[in-house]
Amino acid sequence: FDRPNPSPPSPAMLCAGIAQLVGRTSGPLTEEGLENIKQHKYKGGQYTKLDNLLNPLWTKSTEMLPMWVPPNVVTAVGGVCHLTSLGLTMVYCPTFTEVAPAWVLQVCAVLIFLGYWLDCMDGKQARRTGSSSPLGQLFDHGCDALSLLAHFSLTAILTAPLASSFRLVVANLVILHTTFFLSQWVEYHTHELIHSLGGFGITEVISFAVLMALGLSLVDRGQGSILDMEVSLPVVGAANLSTLYMVGFVI
């Protein structure tokens, strides 16, 4: 006998399934937390000028996707781009004291650019296909948390080994993840995900890192290069350009 094809589970059914699993494993998500996930409605923060400039391109790119492509697939492909970039930096610059090959900077820059571009498309694809769900946003935020490692590793190898101070590397990592955590914390209380401050946001930061990676891949980054040129500032004192760049990026 022919059996009818089962219909895909709804977000409510998925949340109920997760609730049962959490109840069996005593995981970190409570029943109240799962209910909050199910009822959550995403509200993005204010766009910057660069966001407004690129938004039509993000929309146009999304419209080129087939309607049958799930938004979570778009999110996952963007996550793969970021993890691939992270893997390259781990192989070619594992201690952040090696001079990464120029092609590694270029490939990582392209991968992070593509990953962020897809991250800006997945929500549009979800609304376009009518498949938006709280679990989709949870998956998106999880991939964003992992992508921070790729952003961190790229900025850390840009000026290595001239600015490979352990303190700067740790400060970079701590500030990136603290900022991400605080944005989620603010969203929890205000129900709005703030991604920019004073007209400068995530898009600007990632664009700057990508452009710096592409630019620095074209010049010598070793001892005696222009990045090793020492300058003296009133407060900071003597420091080379690589160190000043890393400190500025962290700030």
User: Which token pair is 205?
Assistant: 């930061």
User: Which token pair is 138?
Assistant: 């949870």
Residue type at 201 in one-letter notation: G
Give the residue among 112, 124, 10 at the shortest CA–CA distance from 71.
124
HSE-CB at 135 with a 13 A cutoff on CA atoms is 16
The total number of residues written for the chain in this structure: 251
State whether the Cα torsion 5-10-16-21 is positive or negative: positive
* Residue among 40, 141, 177, 195 flagged as catalytic: 141
Contact (Cβ atoms closer than 8 angstroms) between residue 231 and residue 239? yes
Whether 141 sits among the annotated catalytic residues: the reply is: yes
Please state, in angstroms and rounded to a whole number, the distance separating the CA atoms of residues 224 and 221. 8
Q: Looking at the annotation, which residues are catalytic?
A: 141
